[in-house]
Chain A
Amino acid sequence: MSGPFLELKNLKISFPTDDGVVHSVDGLSFSLERGKTLGIVGESGSGKSVTSLGILGLHNKRNADVSGEIWLDGDELIRAEPERVRKLRGNKMAMIFQDPLSSMHPYYSVGHQIVEAYRVHHNVSKKVARKHAIDMLGKVGIPQPDRRVDDYPHQFSGGMRQRAMIAMALVNDPQLLIADEPTTALDVTVQAQILDLMHKLQEEFNSALIIITHDLGVVAELADDVLVMYGGKCIEYGTASTIFERPEHPYTWGLLGSMPRIDRPNLDRLVPIPGLPPSLINLPSGCAFHPRCAYEPRTAGLGKTVAPELVPAGGSKHLVRCHLPTEERQRIWLEEVKPKLEAQ
Chain B
Amino acid sequence: MITYIIRRLFAAIVLLFIVSAATFAIFYLVPRLVGATPETLATRYVGRAATPETVGLIAHKLGFYDPIWVQYGRWVKAIFVGADYNIGTSVEHCPAPCFGYSFITHQPVWPDLLNRIPVTLSLAVGAAVLWVFFGVSTGVLSALRRGSLLDRTAMSFSLAGVSLPIFFTGMVGLLVFSYKLQWTAPGGTYTPFTENPGKWFYALLLPWCVLAVQFSAQYARLTRAGMLETLGEDYIRTARAKGLRERDVNVRHGLRAALTPLLTIFGLDFGLLIGGAVLTEAVFSLPGLGKYAYDAITNNDLPKVLGVTMMAAFFVVVANLIVDLLYAVVDPRVRLG
Contact = CB atoms under 8 A, between A and B. Distances in A.
Contacts of B49: none
B242 A120 contact: yes
Contacts of A152: 332-333, 336
A99 B333 CA distance: 18
A104 interface: yes
A53 B238 CA distance: 11
A102 B229 CA distance: 13
Contacts of A109: 332
Interface string A83-118: 000111111001101010011111101000000110
A89 B243 contact: yes
Interface string A117-159: 1001100000000000000000000000000000010110000
A91 B235 contact: no
Interface residues of A, number: 28
Contact of A116 (B233, B237, B241, B242): B242
B240 interface: yes
B260 interface: yes
A89 B242 CA distance: 6
A56 interface: yes
B234 A116 contact: no
Contacts of A120: 242-245
B333 A106 contact: yes
A332 interface: no
A87 B238 CA distance: 15
A58 B240 contact: yes
B333 A104 contact: no
Contacts of A121: 243
A94 B233 CA distance: 19
B61 interface: no
Nearest to B245: A86
B291 to A, nearest CB: 41
B234 A97 contact: yes
A319 interface: no
B170 to A, nearest CB: 39
Contacts of B237: 53, 58, 97, 103
Interface in B224-250: 233-235, 237-245
Contacts of A106: 235, 257, 331-333
B253 interface: yes
B234 A154 contact: no
A102 B235 contact: yes
Q: Which of A90, A94, A107, A154 has its CB near the most chain B CB atoms (within 10 A)?
A: A107
B244 A107 contact: no
B242 A105 contact: no
Contacts of A226: none
A103 B236 CA distance: 8
Interface in A39-97: 53, 56, 58, 86-91, 94-95, 97
B333 A154 contact: yes
A232 B163 CA distance: 48
A87 B243 contact: yes
A97 B235 CA distance: 10
Contacts of A90: 241-244
Contacts of A97: 234, 237-238, 241
A152 B331 CA distance: 10
10 contacts: A86-B243, A86-B245, A89-B243, A97-B234, A103-B238, A107-B256, A120-B243, A152-B333, A152-B336, A155-B336
Interface of A: 53, 56, 58, 86-91, 94-95, 97, 99, 102-107, 109, 116-117, 120-121, 152, 154-155, 168
